[in-house]
Amino acid sequence: MEADDGRIFGGCNVENATYGLTVCAERVAIWKALSEGVRKFRAVAVVTGAEKPTPPCGACRQILWEFAGDVPVVSVTETGGRRLYTMSELLPEPFDL
């Protein structure tokens, strides 16, 4: 997550035996930023070891929308694959408050 002031907040998947309680890297990163007082964001980066660029999962999309809005999301692979999205493209009908 890139905050509006340029700070970068990283995250990693936090997995456990009960898969339902696993937390994705995107949510870890945004929660770290929020806990540091950040309220405005410039972009999200997703880096994966998969063959193709991978966008955030559905749960992450909703959280990112609620806290970061319609920011750019760049997904890259370790082998150089790259794809650019916007949050409104990934979540066209978000659940808003």
Residues labelled as active-site residues: 26
Q: By three-state DSSP, how is residue 54 classified?
A: coil
DSSP string spanning 58-93? HHHHHHHHHHH-S-EEEEEETTS-EEEEEHHHH-SS
- Specify which residues 25 forms β-bridges with: none
Strand pairing report for 41-48 and 72-77: parallel
